[in-house]
Amino acid sequence: MLKATNISVSYGPTQVLHGLNMTARAGTLTAIVGPNGSGKTTLMRALTGDVAFDGTIRLGETDIATAKPYDLAAQRAVLPQATPLAFPFQAVEVVRLGLRGGIETNDRLALTALSRVGLEGYANRFYQELSGGEQQRVQLARVLCQVWRPVVSGSPRWLFLDEPVSSLDIGHQLTVMHIARDFARAGGGVVAVMHDLNLSAMFAHQLVLMQAGQIIGHGAPQEVLTDAQVSRAYGCDIRTSSTPQDGGWFMLPQSAGGQDRAAVKRAG
């Protein structure tokens, strides 16, 4: 289990996270959602040990704050929002960086990972020549290689994904979300920062809803995506709905009322 207790993060004099508590379990996909500036990426960076924090974060038996980077790398892989490269690597070379042996490792797994993210035949394409969405999927293939087996010797491994579908069309968004959910179903843990509430509700087992550096909802999608909580978080009057077939939760832009953000904040 991933357990974060009383997590606070400050950038200089500005406090960004305010004493957060959250848990995520192996075998589940946890989506962190909320408006721009709510602290989603900062929370993700704290969970992965990439930013200094107050409090305690444990990944299984590992204390994130004191763990060696190579120990963390064996347990979890991290996909940031963007990964610019200054050198002309081929796609397969980028993917190989996720393997223990680095760029000299056999191509079999790297090619399999590229195929899995829909980039079969792209191995020898230069990274800088790819579209933003293609680059994003190359990086996903890289992190998949790092934790290819979701469970090793009885211990789950983890994927941390920061906006993994931000540059993708709907078909590739669904591909990526299926990959994430399949990883969780196989026993691994997945934590993803997401903007799309509908995709989050479709695929996530639990949601963490953030606003202004605090968690205001934590639980199953149907528990978190209430009209009141979503309207409060996003500063507009939103109505959620469910499908009659399976009860899946969703919301459409047409469901948003005419109130402006200031009016909703005053009402909340």
Say whether both 139 and 153 belong to one domain.
yes
Give the per-residue pLDDT at 83: 82
Question: What's 62's domain CATH number?
Answer: 3.40.50.300
Say whether both 253 and 160 belong to one domain.
no
Of the listed ranges 32-46, 75-89, 185-199, 210-224, the one predicted with least confidence? 75-89
pLDDT band at 266 (very low <50, low <70, confident <90, very high): very low
Handedness of CA 208, 210, 215, 221 (dihedral sign): negative
Report how many domains make up the chain: 2
Say whether both 56 and 102 belong to one domain.
yes
Say whether both 21 and 68 belong to one domain.
yes
Strands (E) located in 136-224: 151-152, 155-156, 158-162, 189-193, 206-211, 214-219
What span, in angstroms and rounded, lies between the C-alpha atoms of 229 and 241? 14
Say whether both 159 and 70 belong to one domain.
yes
Residue-wise pLDDT for 192-249, tens only, equals 999 999 999 999 999 999 999 999 999 999 899 998 999 999 988 888 877 766 667 7
| pTM for the predicted model, two decimal places | 0.90
Say whether both 173 and 40 belong to one domain.
yes
Q: Residue written as tokens 């963490």?
A: 208
Say whether both 43 and 150 belong to one domain.
yes
Name 56's Cβ contacts closer than 8 Å, sequence gap at least 6.
3, 4, 5, 6, 7, 63, 65
pLDDT, averaged across the chain: 90
Q: What is the CA radius of gyration of the chain?
A: 19
Element (H, E) at 198: helix 197-203
Say whether both 132 and 243 belong to one domain.
no
What span, in angstroms and rounded, lies between the C-alpha atoms of 105 and 181? 27
Is 97:142 a contact under the CB 8 Å cutoff? Answer: yes
Name 87's Cβ contacts closer than 8 Å, sequence gap at least 6.
none
Say whether both 56 and 120 belong to one domain.
yes
Residue-wise pLDDT for 10-29, tens only, equals 999 999 999 999 999 999 99
What span, in angstroms and rounded, lies between the C-alpha atoms of 250 and 94? 36
Which ranges constitute the DSSP H helices of 97-159?
A: 108-116, 132-146
Say whether both 147 and 230 belong to one domain.
no
Domain that holds residue 237: 226-268
The CB density around residue 77, as the number of other CB atoms within 10 Å, is 23
Amino acid at 69: P
Say whether both 259 and 163 belong to one domain.
no
Give the per-residue pLDDT at 106: 66
Calculate what percentage of the chain has a pLDDT beyond 90: 77
Say whether both 207 and 267 belong to one domain.
no
Instruction: Using alpha carbons, select from 10, 28, 204, 52 the residue that is nearest to residue 217.
Output: 204
The CB density around residue 166, as the number of other CB atoms within 10 Å, is 16
